[in-house]
Amino acid sequence: MRAYHRVIGSLLSCASLGLGAAGVLANAPITPAPSQSVRPAQAKPLPAKPPVAAKPKPRPAVAPAAPAAVFEVESPDSLPVAHWTLDDAQALLVAINAVGAEGLFPRDYQPAALAAQIAKGESAELDTLASHLFIWLAEDLRDGRTPMAARAQWFAIDPDQDVQPNAQLLAQATELHDVPGVLDALLPEHPDYGLLKDALANAKDPRQIAMIRANLDRWRWMARDPGLQYLMINVPEQVLRLTVNNKIIRSYRAIVGRPGKTATPQLAEQVKNVVFNPTWTVPQSIVVGEGLGERLIGNPAAAKREGYVATRAADGTITVVQQPGDGNSLGRVKLDMPNEHAIYIHDTPNRSLFALPARALSHGCVRAEHATELAMTMAILGADLPPETAISYNLSGKYTKVPMAKPFPVYITYFTVARDVNGLMRSFPDIYGRDGAVIASFAKPRALHTSQRKSSEAVIKLDNPL
């Protein structure tokens, strides 16, 4: 128990925790502790030539696919219009011409047409054109330029357009006469976005620039403000980070889904419970498909010895539940984050796998190195659990669910150019082949935004941790 006290105490001290009623973290160091330093072998400096645009293999659905959804496109005629002074219109033109620093293209927002209309003076035509161009620029800064069809398996719904709708932004820009201020307030707050902008400013190779541009846009697909404390998993890097006030408290190696139908989807969810000593309900694909259920039902002694409880329902269905213990497929802890994909974060009894340089090995769920440390820390931060109690729950060997009292977001992201655990901007292998579609979309004219908020691909429940 002393060892756990030292580890948890180190984490809380590292985070400068105020474990009073508020339990607020501040002034956390940005570099991981030496014991958790992660150096993925596949990480490499930004290449002169990024990977060739790959065509990801389609993920098969678990049921017949529904007809493709039709999403309403917001046409220019449906956009709000405000009155523009010449000074405000000129400020918009300046912002458009400077938007290359954000990885966008000024040409998408018709600077020549706007300049010509400004030269004619204030008019209804200027009001309409400037309003439309402002909204297009605001949408791309707030939500990203990449069409949803090019965002493979992106199910992380961005709430920013609900918080800052187009009409509100337009009114603020024209009534407060602060076009640059309103647009700047849409940019992602995460420090990695600024680091990517710096990398873009210094990049020379066109392919390198295209990669950086794609990853800048990925930040805009997410909530501008990720929250006070959160977990973020970067799938290509195969690393999970515990973050507070946008400062990295600890980095953990992660195991993510294999390419193909078990690839880990991109999500924005919340941890609802920390489960110590979890049970695991074995999927029917194993219970029936591999004959586990009949074998255990027919041999109760083997079931007990192997740590399973098998029951047969009146309709003949066999349910197999693996009990807590060192051999449990979920390991010692599970972070429960309810979602339609059945994705969660958990420990594993096969901890030697974390030493591998390539860790895309799971059926979709995310396994975290030193997961018990992570779970105890989260229970302390998110449920105000006393450290002694968290340690006791972990060592008890008994199933214990701790509901989170505070929001604890989890972002499963996909950045192929990002800051590594040493604070350096690096590139990571495009393990699911998702860069190509994003980069290709930037070579096409800007598409009008639609009402679609996430990928329309089939949802596959990935609930097998093996």
What is the Cα–Cα distance from 148 to 138, expressed in whole angstroms? 17
Which tokens hold the place of 64?
């017949």
378 and 233 in a common domain: yes
Structure confidence by residue, pLDDT tens digits, 83-115:
999 999 999 999 999 999 999 999 999 999 999
358, pLDDT greater than 50: yes
On whether the CB atoms of residues 408 and 270 are closer than 8 A, the answer is: yes
214, pLDDT greater than 90: yes
Residue with tokens 């255990």: 296
Q: Which of residues 329 and 60 earns the better pLDDT score? A: 329
284 and 270 in a common domain: no
41, pLDDT greater than 60: no
Rounded to two decimals, the pTM is: 0.86
150-154, 375-379, 457-461: segment of lowest average pLDDT = 457-461
The reported pLDDT for the residue numbered 7 is 63
Smallest CA-to-CA distance from 146 within 439, 451, 458 is with 439
Q: Which of residues 6 and 322 earns the better pLDDT score? A: 322
Smallest CA-to-CA distance from 335 within 288, 303, 383, 302 is with 383
pLDDT band at 6 (very low <50, low <70, confident <90, very high): low
What's phi and psi for 18, nearest 5 deg? -100, 90
Q: Is 114 helix (H, G, I), strand (E, B) or coil?
A: helix
pLDDT band at 23 (very low <50, low <70, confident <90, very high): very low
12, pLDDT greater than 90: no
pLDDT band at 458 (very low <50, low <70, confident <90, very high): confident
Within a domain: residue 202?
yes
Alpha-carbon torsion (256, 262, 265, 269), positive or negative: negative
Q: Which of 136, 158, 184 is the last residue of a domain?
A: 184
The reported pLDDT for the residue numbered 68 is 41
On whether the CB atoms of residues 160 and 142 are closer than 8 A, the answer is: yes
Within a domain: residue 227?
yes
Average pLDDT score over residue span 151-178: 97
Cβ-proximal residues to 55 (8 Å cutoff; 6+ apart), any chain: 433, 436
Structure confidence by residue, pLDDT tens digits, 398-449:
999 999 999 899 999 999 999 999 999 999 999 999 999 999 999 999 999 9
Q: Is 354 helix (H, G, I), strand (E, B) or coil?
A: helix
What is the Cα–Cα distance from 256 to 412, expressed in whole angstroms? 10
What is the Cα–Cα distance from 427 to 368, expressed in whole angstroms? 22
Average pLDDT score over residue span 315-327: 95
201 and 169 in a common domain: no
Structural element, H or E, at residue 373 = helix 371-383
Burial class (CB in 10 A: 0-12, 13-18, 19+), 348: buried
The reported pLDDT for the residue numbered 64 is 35
pLDDT band at 40 (very low <50, low <70, confident <90, very high): very low
230, pLDDT greater than 60: yes
Within a domain: residue 147?
yes
Pairing of strands 273-276, 333-336: antiparallel
Q: Which of 149, 184, 219 is the last residue of a domain?
A: 184
Within a domain: residue 381?
yes
Q: Which of 301, 323, 345 is the last residue of a domain?
A: 323
Average pLDDT score over residue span 199-213: 97
CATH number of the CATH domain containing 379: 2.40.440.10
116, pLDDT greater than 90: yes
213, pLDDT greater than 80: yes
287 and 428 in a common domain: no
Average pLDDT score over residue span 48-69: 39
The reported pLDDT for the residue numbered 356 is 97
Q: Which of residues 307 and 34 earns the better pLDDT score? A: 307
Structure confidence by residue, pLDDT tens digits, 383-402:
999 999 999 999 999 999 99
32 and 86 in a common domain: no
239 HSE (CA, 13 A, CB side): 25
Q: Which residues form the domain of 290?
A: 280-323
132 and 28 in a common domain: no
Average pLDDT score over residue span 363-388: 95
Cβ-proximal residues to 188 (8 Å cutoff; 6+ apart), any chain: 219, 220, 222, 224
On whether the CB atoms of residues 279 and 324 are closer than 8 A, the answer is: yes
413 and 386 in a common domain: yes
Within a domain: residue 466?
no
From residue 364, alpha-carbon distances to 340, 343, 465 in Å are 13, 7, 8
The reported pLDDT for the residue numbered 464 is 61
51-55, 116-120, 336-340: segment of lowest average pLDDT = 51-55
Within a domain: residue 28?
yes
Torsion of CA 83, 80, 114, 444, to 10 degrees: 170
- Calculate the average pLDDT of the chain: 87
49, pLDDT greater than 80: no
14-18, 84-88, 98-102, 132-136: segment of lowest average pLDDT = 14-18
DSSP code string of 219-273: HHTS-SS--SEEEEEETTTTEEEEEETTEEEEEEEEEEEPSSTTPPPBEEEE--E
14, pLDDT greater than 80: no
From residue 371, alpha-carbon distances to 337, 422, 457 in Å are 15, 21, 31
197 and 315 in a common domain: no
From residue 296, alpha-carbon distances to 279, 280, 331 in Å are 17, 15, 21
Within a domain: residue 449?
no
Which tokens hold the place of 194?
């600024």
Smallest CA-to-CA distance from 96 within 87, 109, 114 is with 109
436 and 410 in a common domain: yes
Average pLDDT score over residue span 9-15: 62
435 and 351 in a common domain: yes
297 and 159 in a common domain: no
What is the Cα–Cα distance from 174 to 111, expressed in whole angstroms? 18
On whether the CB atoms of residues 333 and 367 are closer than 8 A, the answer is: no
Within a domain: residue 295?
yes
Q: What's the number of domains the chain is made of? A: 3
pLDDT band at 63 (very low <50, low <70, confident <90, very high): very low
211 and 108 in a common domain: no
Which tokens hold the place of 109?
């927002």
Structure confidence by residue, pLDDT tens digits, 268-293:
999 999 999 999 999 888 899 999 99
